[in-house]
Amino acid sequence: MIKQIQLVKMDKNDWQELQKVSIETYTDTFEPYNSPEIMDAYLTTAYESKKLQRELTNPNSRFYFVKVNQETAGYLKVNVKDAQTEKMGDDSLEVERIYIRPPFKHQGLGTRLIQEAEKLAHEAHKSKIWLGVWEHNEPAKRFYAKFGFKRIGQHSFFMGDDEQTDYLMQKKL
């Protein structure tokens, strides 16, 4: 079967599908490393309906579903200006999320999404693209390094009251 891959820009009405995919993919990646209580608390807060609706209507954030043969396989979220989770400057675009659903991993979709993020950064005349990645997420760190991202620092990330470390990685365009 030939795969048809599409990127579809989300709008505020897509919050339920966004919520479902977010919870599924985040759980798949991080559940083995966190207690059920911490996971439940984080998922309830991070992907709460009103929060997602606000994010989807923020003019400095963009969300894109990646669809394979019309089925949602994952999504990309990018931020500029004050929507960035760290103050990296107006010359930067943040890749906040590349989430791929488990059945669609290892099919080149992450590559397609990082390429889209770079294209968006170029179109917006940004000179840098950056992201945060959990210090123990070795596959993700290798993936981003393959595209020229280099570690430039770190910050704390909280799963409930559990402080974890994200590496900040950046690529100059």
Active site residue 144: yes
Check the CA dihedral 40-55-87-25 and report its sign: positive
159's tokens? 């799963």
DSSP-derived secondary structure letter, 4? P
Contact 75, 64 (CB under 8 A): yes
The residue type of 111 is T
Contact 15, 56 (CB under 8 A): yes
3-state helix, strand, coil in the chain (%, to 5): 40, 35, 25
Contact 129, 113 (CB under 8 A): no
If one counts every other C-beta atom within 10 angstroms of the C-beta of residue 15, the result is 23
- From 42, 99, 144, 167, active-site residue: 144
So which residues are the catalytic ones? 144
